[in-house]
C-alpha cells in the first residue's frame, strides 16, 4: 500500500483516547478532522528516546503557535494501547493541546500506509515517524521520515508550511 501523500484524504478509523475526565473514548478520525485544520503526527513508540525527548515536546511547546495559525487539533498517534498512551501523556504535565491517540492494533497506521516493521528490534509493527497537515480531511503537507530520522516531521517544519 502506498503511503498517504499530499492531495489524499485522511482515512477514517477509530482511535482510543483518555479524555480530560480520564474516560476512555473511541474517536473516529473523521469526526476529529472534518471541516478542521489538523496536524496528525505519528511516532514509532511511546517512551522511546527521540519520540519522548524531541518529537512530542516540540509539538507541545509549539501548540499555541500552531493554534494561532489556524490549527484546530494536534493529534499524536502511536501503535500502543490506550493505557500506555495515557501514562505517556501524563509525563507532559504542561500539555494542553496535544491529544495522545492509541492505535492499539496498528489498523489506522496501516490505513495510512505508514507501517514500520521493527520486529528485528523486538518492537513488532509500528508507525513510521511522520507529520501530516490536513485541511477538511485533505492532506496539504505529508512529512514522512526515512530510516528512523527526525529531520522533517517536527513542529517547526509544520509551522513553516502554515
- pLDDT more than 70, % of the chain: 99
Determine if the pTM surpasses 0.85. Answer: yes
- Choice among 29, 51, 144, 158 that is catalytic: 51
Residue 117 has pLDDT above 90, yes or no: no
**Can 51 be counted among the known catalytic residues?**
yes
Measured between alpha carbons, how far is 106 from 103 in angstroms, rounded to an integer?
A: 5
Beta bridge partners of 17: 25
The single-letter DSSP state of residue 51 is: I
* Mean pLDDT, the chain, integer: 93
Residue 39 has pLDDT above 90, yes or no: yes
Is-contact 28 106, C-beta < 8 A?
no
pLDDT of residue 147: 77
Residue 115 has pLDDT above 90, yes or no: no
Closest by CA position to 100, among listed 75, 131, 129: 75
For cell 518529537, the residue is 55
Grid coordinates of 22: 480520564
Residue 131 has pLDDT above 70, yes or no: yes
Amino acid at each position: 500500500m502506498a503511503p498517504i501523500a499530499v492531495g489524499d484524504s485522511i482515512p477514517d478509523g477509530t482511535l482510543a483516547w483518555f479524555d480530560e475526565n480520564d474516560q476512555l473514548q473511541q474517536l473516529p478520525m473523521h469526526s476529529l478532522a472534518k471541516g478542521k485544520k489538523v496536524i496528525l503526527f505519528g511516532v514509532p513508540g511511546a517512551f522511546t528516546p527521540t519520540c519522548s525527548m524531541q518529537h512530542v515536546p516540540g509539538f507541545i511547546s509549539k501548540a499555541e503557535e500552531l493554534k494561532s495559525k489556524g490549527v484546530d487539533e494536534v493529534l499524536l498517534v502511536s501503535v500502543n494501547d490506550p493505557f500506555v498512551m495515557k501514562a505517556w501523556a501524563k509525563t507532559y504535565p504542561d500539555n494542553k493541546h496535544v491529544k495522545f491517540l492509541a492505535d492499539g492494533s496498528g489498523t489506522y497506521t496501516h490505513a495510512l500506509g505508514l507501517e514500520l516493521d521493527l520486529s528485528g528490534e523486538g518492537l513488532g509493527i509500528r508507525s513510521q515517524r511522520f507529520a501530516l497537515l490536513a485541511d477538511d480531511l485533505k492532506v496539504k503537507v505529508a512529512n514522512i521520515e526515512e530510516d528512523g530520522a527526525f529531520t522533517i516531521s517536527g513542529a517547526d517544519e509544520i509551522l513553516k508550511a502554515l
